[in-house]
Structure 1
Amino acid sequence: MASAGAAVTVVERCAVSPPPRSVPPATLPLTFLDIPWLFFSPTQPIFFFASAAAAAAANFTQTVVPKLKHSLSLALRHFFPLAGKLVIPAALSAEPHLEYNESDSVLLVVAAAADGCEFKNLAGNHRRDGRRFRRLVPEIGGGDGGKRPVLAVQITVFPEMGICIGFTLRNVAADWRTFNNFLKNWASLCKSGGDLLDAGRHVASHDRSVILDSGGLRSFFLTEFWKMAKNVKDVNFDDSEIVRATFVLGPKEMEQIKKWILTRSDLLFGSTQLLLSPYVIVCAFIWVCWIKTHWSTNMITRKDIVHYFGFIAGGLTRMPYAVPSTYVGNCVGFGRSAAIREELAGKDGVVFAAKAIGDTVKKLNGDMLGGARNWIAEWKEMRESELHVTVTGSPKLDLYELDFGWGRPEKFEEVSIGTGAISLSESREVIGGIEVGVALPRLKMDAFSTLFNEV
């Protein structure tokens, strides 16, 4: 795990399970909304908390770590699939599933950074060396005998400065809504000292029957998975030449972009009504900045190449039937928008991008499952295409409201984004703003920053 920047030393590695005899063994089938996530590498979110008191050496080892362990155990009682395993049998006749046994646990790594002052550097929006973040998330491993851990956690203390909590999560067990519910439950238990006896009673539902499959998508997706299973591997990004930066778009900038789109849309699309939500506006602007960044350094001159923008759409309000907000598992749809290079790279690029993304959102709003049989094939095509962009995270998750007793996070980062992905979250400082996490080689980050600042 060698990397640039201050050294991080592992102090402890331990296994955290739900309280003894609190959760019976369980096997959970994968629904058709879980199966597509078998093709994705784990997500790796990080939260930085600025608290000199909590990060004091004695307080951290004697008070903070034991409290985090205890409250994590209590939270896993209600979110036990996260402590279990993803089982992928070797035989085609068997089905991948989630499994929990009383011997299962979450790997918890406790670490210490040599330089506490490094906290301020890492927990900022400015450019930072991408390699420095890899030391702050745990390795989850592939597991033995087809059984893969679902979640690993790393707590890193920056002496006298703050605490960082990093995760490696296989989304096949939980979408971001579920994971956010888990985090809030864990944080509440930690902040209260574990005194919330009823915490979790009404925040976790494991009833897989609520995901109805009238279209036979589960069987179809399983067939698609077994066709490609041997090529499904976790991706390890090379961060040696990568810098990370966070860009913020507030309501003022969004309104400027929206006005420009509306000014040009009548000329390009006539009376067509565009869907111009803050999410669509931000994604459209970032997509165009991304394409123009790579266009300037790309030797290929063809202008008719199709570029894709992929994102996830929440399913609670889009499914044709009710799914409880407390459901533990996946309830999201997949969206893929397409536009040709000449459109995206031209002066009206943001307008074309907004129409493409907005039209995709409209389709998902109207019938989220209407094109579901194409999800896996479309995303495979997108990943194999040139200069595609995918989005992880959502500005609707209120991640900056997470509080373990040290106040709101100073910064959120998604480490798993490579040079073909961005992360989105709500802004900590700008009301109604959206933070965009970007990871690019240095020269391309120069170009991207220039384009972004033209808004």
Structure 2
Amino acid sequence: MSFSSLGGVHVISTSTIKPQILPQESQDPCYLTPWDLPKLSTHYIQKGLFFTKPSSPSQNIIDHLKNSLSCTLTQFFPLAGRLVTKKQDDPQSYYVYLDCSDAKGVQFIHAVAEFTIADIISLIDTPPILQSLFPLVPGTVNHDGHTLPLLIVQVTELTEGIFIACSVNHAVADGTTYWNFFNKWSEISRTHIKFEMNDNTHFTVSPSDPPIITKRWFLENQGPIINLPFSHHDEFIDRSFTSPPLRERMFHFSAESLKQLKAQANPNQPNNTQNEISTFQALIALIWTSVTRARKTPLDQKTTCKLAINNRTRMCPTLSKNYLGNCVQIVSASAIAADITGKSSDNGNNSSSAGWAALLLNKAVMEHSEERVREWLKGWAKDPWVYKVGRSTDEHTLMVSGSHRFKMFGNDFGWGEVVAVRSGFGNKYDGKVMAYEGRENGSIDLEINLVGWAMSALETDKEFIRYVASPAPPGVTPTL
């Protein structure tokens, strides 16, 4: 396995962690859905959390994290499996599924680094050294889950802090599953932090916990085996994408500035109407208009804003929030740059350009109904295809993923609050925006990736900067 070894990061040990208990359902093949399979050629999800270093001995903390991880995997056992491909020539058959029957386990890496949390989060741009805190090397794709673990954890001790990073195979899990796992792991760790570190019997899951739904959901008369029109993975795996040099910045939006944005996007809307523009839609509309200006997009050029959207609540009956797997699609809104930037007299916009763009985004979200979801699933099954990183976007497109609704700062492993959230190299390109929960209640953080000259222009865009706030200082002290 290839691990990162940059920036003074030294790997102390690597180990394999298996579920404390492997449930009976793990013996059944887990077939991948039309939401899972298109992601075989994209990157692992990579997110991590900074904490102030606990005062307890280092090895005690590492042992405790391993034990609580093993307990967490009892519920999230599919993350301990591997991908398997079955194929034959006559009749032609090629399908990929998830095998959890022998629980090969997840990888746990313990490392130390010679820098501080401030060396990362105090800088304007995210420094390249951050990537050394994440396992895997650039170019790793989800299909590599045939041989690589589906979940790789790297715990790195910094000079005065600790960074817990997880890389999760995106063909097996989406952002909701990712943070469900992180939340449960931190909860189990926090609950048992006072027990003897090496006694596995203390690490138990409460029977009152809502069950994790590990059985994949399919349309009626669809699946569970979906035959792909390929004879070899080289026909759909693409590792050739190379992003131009990017600047990556975290921008913070306070609850007050978001309130102002939403009010401007809903100037004539009564409260609680079905079509009210949400706070997040108003924020992303601001980003869309500001980035379009920053990119100096020709006024007659079509621009597009894409949003990753959760389908769980759109199905009837709704899927559980604890459904383990991918359950997202992309919705998009498009318009010419003149309309987006407010330089057109034909868009009917009498307030702000961001307000007009927000209406487009709101319409795209409202039209994403269960019927649309079902149509997409049927269409993909008839003509399967696989996403290629960076191939469905260009310099006129903005792609937004993640969610401010995911619980990030609440992940207390037993020694204090989260200091900051950061991400790895996965699935990044010009125009990629990732949404995060902000530290203060009601705030939102956005990670924006742009080519250098466009980022510089965005930083001086008056309409954009007026809403950007300074994040609250962590003020965290260890509790152990």
Normalised by the length of structure 2, the TM-score is 0.79
* Correspondence 1:312 to 2:308: yes
Judge conservation of contact 2:12–2:111 (CA < 8 Å) in 1. yes
Which runs of structure 2 are paired with 1:395-434 in the superposition (5 Å)?
Answer: 395-415=404-424, 416=426, 417-429=428-440, 431-434=441-444
Judge conservation of contact 2:135–2:167 (CA < 8 Å) in 1. yes
Counterpart amino acid of residue 28 in structure 1: C
Relative to 1, partners in 2 of residues 1:87 and 1:305: Cα closer, same or farther, differing over 3 Å?
farther
Deviation at 1:20, TM superposition (A): 6.6
Relative to 1, partners in 2 of residues 1:368 and 1:407: Cα closer, same or farther, differing over 3 Å?
farther
- The corresponding residue for 1:42 is 44
- The corresponding residue for 1:80 is 77
Relative to 1, partners in 2 of residues 1:222 and 1:129: Cα closer, same or farther, differing over 3 Å?
same
- The corresponding residue for 1:287 is 288
Counterpart amino acid of residue 186 in structure 2: A
Query: Aligned with 2:366: secondary structure?
Result: helix
**Which residues of structure 1 form unaligned runs of 5+?**
266-271
- The corresponding residue for 2:152 is 152
Judge conservation of contact 2:113–2:157 (CA < 8 Å) in 1. yes
Query: Aligned with 1:48: secondary structure?
Result: strand
Query: 181, 201, 204: which is aligned to 1:197?
Result: 204
Relative to 1, partners in 2 of residues 1:227 and 1:447: Cα closer, same or farther, differing over 3 Å?
farther
- The corresponding residue for 1:128 is 125
Distance 1:171 1:86 in 2: 12
Distance 1:418 1:406 in 2: 35
Deviation at 1:260, TM superposition (A): 3.7
Distance 1:441 1:114 in 2: 29
* Correspondence 1:439 to 2:435: no
Relative to 1, partners in 2 of residues 1:136 and 1:90: Cα closer, same or farther, differing over 3 Å?
farther
Query: 61, 64, 77: which is aligned to 1:64?
Result: 61
Query: Aligned with 1:361: secondary structure?
Result: helix
After superposition, the C-alpha distances for 1:143-172 in whole angstroms (9 at most, x for unaligned) are: 87954532211111013x111011221222
Distance 2:323 2:303 in 1: 34
- The corresponding residue for 2:162 is 163
Judge conservation of contact 1:425–1:436 (CA < 8 Å) in 2. yes
Query: 216, 220, 225: which is aligned to 1:214?
Result: 220
- The corresponding residue for 2:114 is 114
After superposition, the C-alpha distances for 1:337-358 in whole angstroms (9 at most, x for unaligned) are: 2222222233553134212211
Deviation at 1:255, TM superposition (A): 3.3
Q: State the identity as a percent.
A: 23
* Correspondence 1:390 to 2:399: yes
After superposition, the C-alpha distances for 1:165-208 in whole angstroms (9 at most, x for unaligned) are: 11221222112222222112211222233635234763312233
Query: 224, 228, 249: which is aligned to 1:245?
Result: 249
* Correspondence 1:182 to 2:181: yes
The CA RMSD over aligned residues, in Å, is 3.4
Query: Which piece of structure 1 moves more, 15-24 or 106-115?
Result: 15-24
Judge conservation of contact 1:422–1:436 (CA < 8 Å) in 2. yes
Judge conservation of contact 1:339–1:352 (CA < 8 Å) in 2. no
- The corresponding residue for 1:230 is 235
Deviation at 1:276, TM superposition (A): 0.9
* Correspondence 1:139 to 2:149: no
- The corresponding residue for 1:30 is 32
Relative to 1, partners in 2 of residues 1:335 and 1:217: Cα closer, same or farther, differing over 3 Å?
farther
Deviation at 1:52, TM superposition (A): 4.9
Distance 2:167 2:187 in 1: 21
Relative to 1, partners in 2 of residues 1:368 and 1:229: Cα closer, same or farther, differing over 3 Å?
farther
Judge conservation of contact 2:31–2:224 (CA < 8 Å) in 1. no
Whichever structure has more helix as a proportion of its residues is 1
Query: Aligned with 1:206: secondary structure?
Result: coil
Relative to 1, partners in 2 of residues 1:454 and 1:37: Cα closer, same or farther, differing over 3 Å?
same
Judge conservation of contact 1:308–1:336 (CA < 8 Å) in 2. yes
Counterpart amino acid of residue 448 in structure 2: V
After superposition, the C-alpha distances for 1:358-398 in whole angstroms (9 at most, x for unaligned) are: 11110125645155256788977971444322122111112
Distance 2:286 2:445 in 1: 13
Query: Aligned with 2:460: secondary structure?
Result: helix
Counterpart amino acid of residue 183 in structure 2: K
Which runs of structure 2 are paired with 1:323-402 in the superposition (5 Å)?
Answer: 323-347=319-343, 348-365=352-369, 367-369=371-373, 371-372=375-376, 383-402=392-411
Distance 2:449 2:120 in 1: 14
Distance 1:226 1:278 in 2: 46
Which runs of structure 2 are paired with 1:262-281 in the superposition (5 Å)?
Answer: 262=266, 275-281=276-282
Counterpart amino acid of residue 167 in structure 1: C
Judge conservation of contact 1:47–1:413 (CA < 8 Å) in 2. yes
Query: Aligned with 2:287: secondary structure?
Result: helix
Normalised by the length of structure 1, the TM-score is 0.82
Counterpart amino acid of residue 184 in structure 1: N
Distance 1:440 1:418 in 2: 7
Deviation at 1:437, TM superposition (A): 0.8
Relative to 1, partners in 2 of residues 1:218 and 1:345: Cα closer, same or farther, differing over 3 Å?
farther
Distance 2:94 2:20 in 1: 31
Query: Aligned with 2:93: secondary structure?
Result: coil
Judge conservation of contact 1:275–1:359 (CA < 8 Å) in 2. no
Relative to 1, partners in 2 of residues 1:101 and 1:227: Cα closer, same or farther, differing over 3 Å?
closer
